[in-house]
Structure 1
Amino acid sequence: MPATFLYMSLADLAKLVFLSAIWGGSFIFLRVAVPELGPLLTAILRIGLAGLALMAFALMTGVDMNWRRNWRPFAVVGIFAGVLPFSCFAFAAQHLPAAHSAVLNSTAPLFGALFSVLWLSERLTVRKLAGLALGITGVAILVGAGALTLDRPTLAAIAACLVAAACYALSSIIVKKTGHPGGIHPIAMATGSLVMGGLIMTPTLPFALPIAMPSLTAMACIAGLSLLSSGLAQALFIPLIVKVGPTRAMTVSFLIPLFSMLWGFIFLREPIGLPTFIGGAVVLAAMGLVLSAAPPRAEDTVTAEA
C-alpha cells in the first residue's frame, strides 16, 4: 500500500480496527443485558463502572484532571458521548437486532463531517462525501437494510439510534475544540466525561432497579460494556479524535457492523449471508476514500498529548 494512500499511521489505523471490534461487541452485550436489567439501568451501570475504571487509571498514571477548571466540558461531553447515546442504544436494543443498531450508528461519520464543516472549518470534499455515502451504503448491504417491520416501536428505536449517532458526532467536535496544546488532556477528558455522566445519571437509579436479580451472563455483559466498550474505548478514541480529527476518527463506525455480525455469529449463532461479505468489501472501500482524502489544514491539526 503506498505511503500516500492513508494520511494516518499504521498504529492509528490499528486502533480504529480494534475500536471497531470492541464497539461491535457492545451491541451484542446490549441485546443480552437489556432484557434483564432494562435500558436505564444498563446505561447507568455502563457509564458509572467505566468512569470508575478510568478514574483509577488516571490516578495511577498521574493524569491531571483539574476538576475545578474542566468540570463544565467534562459534563457536556459526558452528556453527548455517554448519557444520551448509551441510553438511546440501550432503548433501541429492545426493538432492533444488534446489526441494525450498528448500521444506524454508522451515520455518525456523516454527522461528524457536517458538524466539522460548520464548527471546525474543515473542507467537505467530493472524495470525502463520496466515501461517507459509500460507507452507509456498504453497511446497509451488510445487514440487509429494509428487512425490518416499520411499526411504532421500531421507528422509535431507529430515531433513538440516529440521535445517538448525532450525539457521538457532536461530542467529537467538542473534544477536538478543547483538546489542543494547553487544553484538556485526552485521558482526562475520557475519564472526566464518564465520571460526570455517571453522576448526572445517578439520581435516576431508584427508578431503574430490576424486579428480579440479573443472571451472571447479563452482569458479565455489563462488565464488557463498561470496561471494554466504554472505558478502554474512550481512552483510545478521544486521543485519536484530537490527533487525526473527528471525521477520520469516526470512520471507525463503518467497521462496527461487520464486527457486530461476526460476534453475533460466534456468540449468538446469528447467521451470516452473502450481504455480509459484499457489504464488508464496500465498507473497506469507503474507509479508503475517507482516509485518503486530503488531510486537514495545518492550523486545524492537533497532536494528542502523550
Structure 2
Amino acid sequence: MSVSSVLRLFLLASVWGGSFLFMRITANSLGPAFLIEGRVLTAALCLLLIGVCLRYRLNLLSNIKHFFIIGTTNTAFPFLMFAYAAQTLNASTLAILNSTAPLFGVIIASIWQKEKLKLKATIGLMIGMLGVVFLVGHQAVTLGDDGVLAIFACLSAAFMYGFSANYTKVAPSVTPFENAHGSMWAAVIIVLPLLPFIPIREAVTAPISLSVITLGVVCTGFAYLLYFRLVKDDGPASALSVTFLVPLFGILWGTLFLGEEVGINTLIGALLVITGTILVTGFSLKKAIKNN
C-alpha cells in the first residue's frame, strides 16, 4: 500500500467517523426523516454534478430495481436507523456499533452463500458480540429503554449493511460510481414519503444546515468516491481496514467537539468489536500490503 493510499485510508476513516458527529448534532432538531432526506439529496446532487463534469453516465432505468435494493439496504434504512439512534447515543457508541457490519455480513454469508464458518471466524463473532453486549449493558443502565432501542436500531442498520454486502456478490455488474449515484437517488425517493410523519422538531439554524450539507457532500458523496478509489487502487482487502479505524475517529471527534466522556466500557467495547471484526474477516495488514 502506497503512502498516498494510506493517507486516503485515514482520510476516509476520519470522514466516516465524522458522520456520526454531524448526525449527533442534527438528529434531535431535524428528526431522522428530514435529516436523512437532506443528507441523501445533497449527496445525490453532489454526485450528479461530478457525473456531469466527468461525463459519467447513469443508466438509471435499466438498473432501477438494483438501485432501489442498494438504496434501501445500504443507504436509506441504515441511515435512518443511525439517525434515530443519534437522538440518544453518543457519537462514539454509534461509530463502534457501525463497525459490527462485517460480523453480520459473515453470518448472512454462511446462510445465504453457504460459506462455512471457520473456527477463527466463530471466535471472532463471539468476541464481537461480547463487545456489543458490553455496550448494551452499560447503555441500559445509564439510558434505560431508550438506549437499548437505539442500540437495536444501530444493529439493525449494521445487519442491513451486511445484507447489502452479500447482495452485491449476486447483483448486476454496475460501475462503483453508478452504484453510489443510483442508490442515492433511490434513497431520496424511499425516504420522501416519511417526511409528513416525522416532522422537524426545532427551527433550522445555520449550524444545522451546514452539518447536513457536510454530511451529504463530504461524509457521503466525497466519501463514496474516496472509498471506491481505494478499492480500485489497492483492492477490497486493504480498503476493508477502514472498518477498524472509523470507531477510533468517531470516539476522537465526539470527545474533541462534543465533549463526550469516553468511559472504560466504551474502550473495552470498541476493542472487543474491532478484534472480533478482524478475526471474522480474516484481515491481515501484512497480506494487504504484500498483495499491493
Structure 2 CA distance for aligned equivalents of residues 147 and 202 of structure 1 = 35
Tell me which residue corresponds to 2:283. 291
Tell me which residue corresponds to 2:25. 32
3-state DSSP of counterpart to 2:169 = helix
> 8 Å contact 2:90–2:260 — kept in the other structure?
no
CA deviation digits over 1:111-161, x for unaligned, max 9? 1122233444555433344455555667888xx663223533222211111
Structure 1 CA distance for aligned equivalents of residues 168 and 52 of structure 2 = 21
Tell me which residue corresponds to 1:189. 179
Query: How many Å apart are 1:194 and its aligned residue?
Result: 0.6
Structure 2 CA distance for aligned equivalents of residues 149 and 69 of structure 1 = 47
Q: 1:137 to 1:76 in 2, by over 3 A?
A: same
- After superposition, residues 1-306 of structure 1 pair within 5 angstroms as 15-120=8-113, 122=115, 124-131=117-124, 133-134=126-127, 146-149=137-140, 151-178=144-171, 183-210=173-200, 212-237=202-227, 244=235, 252-272=242-262, 289=279, 290-292=282-284
CA deviation digits over 1:81-123, x for unaligned, max 9? 1110111111111122222222222221101122233444555
| Amino acid corresponding to residue 165 of structure 2 in structure 1 | S
Tell me which residue corresponds to 1:299. none
Structure 2 CA distance for aligned equivalents of residues 40 and 73 of structure 1 = 23
Structure 2 CA distance for aligned equivalents of residues 190 and 155 of structure 1 = 31
| Amino acid corresponding to residue 205 of structure 1 in structure 2 | L
Structure 2 CA distance for aligned equivalents of residues 9 and 111 of structure 1 = 30
Query: How many Å apart are 1:27 and its aligned residue?
Result: 1.3
> 8 Å contact 1:51–1:231 — kept in the other structure?
yes
Structure 1 CA distance for aligned equivalents of residues 4 and 273 of structure 2 = 20
Bigger helix fraction: 2
3-state DSSP of counterpart to 2:138 = coil
CA deviation digits over 1:165-216, x for unaligned, max 9? 011111122233336xxx2111111110011111222233344442542122
Structure 2 CA distance for aligned equivalents of residues 193 and 106 of structure 1 = 21
Query: How many Å apart are 1:10 and its aligned residue?
Result: 7.0
> 8 Å contact 1:45–1:226 — kept in the other structure?
yes
> 8 Å contact 1:65–1:192 — kept in the other structure?
yes
Q: 1:224 to 1:122 in 2, by over 3 A?
A: farther
> 8 Å contact 1:74–1:189 — kept in the other structure?
yes
> 8 Å contact 2:136–2:151 — kept in the other structure?
no
Query: How many Å apart are 1:162 and its aligned residue?
Result: 0.9
Structure 1 CA distance for aligned equivalents of residues 139 and 201 of structure 2 = 30
3-state DSSP of counterpart to 2:210 = helix
Structure 2 CA distance for aligned equivalents of residues 38 and 176 of structure 1 = 34
3-state DSSP of counterpart to 2:211 = helix
User: Aligned residue pairs: how many?
Assistant: 282
C-alpha RMSD of the superposition: 3.4
3-state DSSP of counterpart to 2:139 = coil
Percent identity over the alignment is 33
Tell me which residue corresponds to 1:4. none
| Amino acid corresponding to residue 174 of structure 2 in structure 1 | I
Structure 1: state its 5+ residue gaps: 1-7, 296-306
Structure 2: state its 5+ residue gaps: 288-292
